[in-house]
């Protein structure tokens, strides 16, 4: 009842404006929170939903220099209102992306992969695994590609532990970490189709996939025989899941909270602070963009890294269900169901 599909006139094109034909836009948890009024960004009503998506430039104003018709664009910031077929936006609200990207990758690029990349790079300096001198010696006569050499590492390198590993951010973390030579320990909720989910995350490059219950079991020791204890933990759940994950963090390690799906506080034993000096931090992509609004080099560098990973086949879109815009009600309902490991994408 909060939502209606409406036909509106496309506004007149100003000198600094860009007329965009939207192609596809996902439904993310933050979009739902904004609709419910529980998110720090509140758009004046009536508002167009959606913070993410990809569109094609149809026409540009006389003062627009960086974009031309035919270019693909994504939002430069939250609050654009992407659940629409057409829009006229100021040029600075858009970022150009290569047309060579698969449409679902481009549509889901500006939130989850950016969040994953920032959290993997901004809080801890994580080192990839390194080959031993003996391995280097044995490679001398082998026609092994450099990519293979990175995989045959004896020094285990650093690792990351994360919960909600099947989320959009979780899937991006697995792939970006794998491309960087960092190992991942991925925590998911137990569910009916657990074996299929484990298989899917392993195929993306996960090193370990475990349930929240397993975090408390002695078998965790087996994981740490081959994978070092994590220096970085990524939390978007809260509650018990977070407390258990924290137990496995290295001394002086960092836990970054970027969501609270369990709607429960983050509980930390006093001993973790005193005897292991763990650091607790928070991350919000919207704030990062605000802080870097004048630093276009950082933004361009981030987008370039992600686009290169996509074009090299090392970063794919999350599992998606494509829904025509007129079926938006079904898509909104599906996006709020538990255990749905597929992102709803509105085709516009």
What's residue 60's pLDDT? 97
Identify whether 258 is a catalytic site residue. no
Q: Give Cβ neighbours of residue 109 (< 8 Å, ≥ 6 apart).
A: 52, 54, 74, 97, 101, 303, 306, 307, 310
Out of 35, 39, 103, 156, the active site residue is: 39
pLDDT (0 to 100) of residue 104: 96
**Which domains occur in the chain, in start order?**
17-108+318-347 (3.90.180.10), 113-286 (3.40.50.720)
The alpha-carbon radius of gyration of the chain (Å, integer) is 21
Distance CA 107, CA 82 (A): 10
Instruction: Give the pLDDT of residue 131.
Output: 60
Percent of the chain with pLDDT over 70: 92
Low-confidence ranges of the chain (pLDDT < 70): 1, 130-155
Q: Identify the DSSP state of 126.
A: P
For residue 94, which phi and psi values (nearest 5 degrees)? -125, 150
Which class for 274: exposed (0-12), middle (13-18), buried (19 or more C-beta within 10 A)? exposed
Pairwise CA distance, residues 70 & 20, whole Å: 10
Q: What is the pLDDT of residue 220?
A: 94
Retrieve residue 326's tokens.
């007129």
Specify whether the CB–CB gap between 24 and 345 falls below 8 A.
Answer: yes
Task: Check residue 152 and give its pLDDT.
Answer: 52
Q: Would you state the pLDDT for residue 165?
A: 96
H-helix or E-strand containing 19? Answer: strand 17-26
What separation in angstroms does the CA of 87 have from each of 107, 210, 324?
16, 43, 18
Give residue 2's pLDDT.
76
Query: Running DSSP on this structure, what letter comes out for residue 66?
Result: S
What is the structure's pLDDT at 129?
77
d(CA 255, CA 281): 6
Provide the pairing of β-strand 159-162 with 232-235.
parallel
135 alpha-carbon distance from chain centroid? 35
């Amino acid at each position: 009842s909060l939502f209606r599909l409406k036909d509106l006139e496309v506004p007149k094109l100003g000198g600094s404006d860009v007329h965009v034909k939207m192609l596809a836009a996902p439904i993310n948890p933050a979009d739902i929170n904004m609709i419910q009024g529980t998110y720090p960004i509140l758009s004046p009503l009536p508002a167009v939903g959606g913070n993410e998506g990809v569109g094609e430039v149809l026409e540009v104003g006389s003062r627009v220099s960086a974009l031309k018709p035919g270019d693909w664009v994504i939002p430069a910031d939250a609050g654009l209102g992407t659940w629409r077929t057409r829009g006229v936006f100021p040029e600075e609200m858009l970022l150009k992306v290569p047309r060579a990207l698969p449409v679902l990758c481009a549509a889901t690029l500006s939130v989850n992969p950016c969040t994953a990349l920032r959290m993997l790079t901004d809080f801890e300096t994580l080192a990839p695994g390194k080959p031993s001198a003996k391995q280097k010696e044995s490679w001398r006569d082998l026609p092994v590609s450099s990519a293979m050499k990175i995989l045959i590492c004896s020094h285990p390198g650093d690792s990351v532990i994360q919960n909600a590993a099947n989320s959009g951010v979780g899937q991006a973390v697995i792939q970006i970490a794998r491309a960087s030579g960092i190992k991942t320990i991925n925590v998911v909720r137990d569910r009916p189709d657990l074996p299929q989910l484990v298989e899917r995350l392993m195929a993306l490059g996960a090193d370990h996939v475990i349930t929240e219950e397993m975090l408390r079991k002695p078998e965790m020791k087996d994981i740490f025989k081959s994978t070092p204890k994590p220096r970085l933990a990524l939390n978007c759940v809260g509650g018990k899941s977070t407390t258990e994950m924290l137990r496995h963090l290295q001394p002086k390690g960092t836990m970054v909270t970027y969501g609270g799906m369990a709607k429960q506080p983050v509980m930390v034993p006093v001993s973790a602070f005193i005897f292991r000096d763990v650091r607790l931090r928070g991350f919000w992509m919207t704030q990062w963009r605000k802080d870097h609004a004048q630093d276009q080099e950082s933004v361009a560098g981030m987008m370039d890294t992600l686009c290169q990973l996509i074009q090299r086949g090392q970063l794919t879109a999350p599992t998606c269900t494509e829904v025509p815009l007129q079926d938006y009600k079904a898509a909104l309902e599906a996006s709020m169901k538990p255990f749905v490991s597929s992102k709803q994408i509105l085709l516009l």
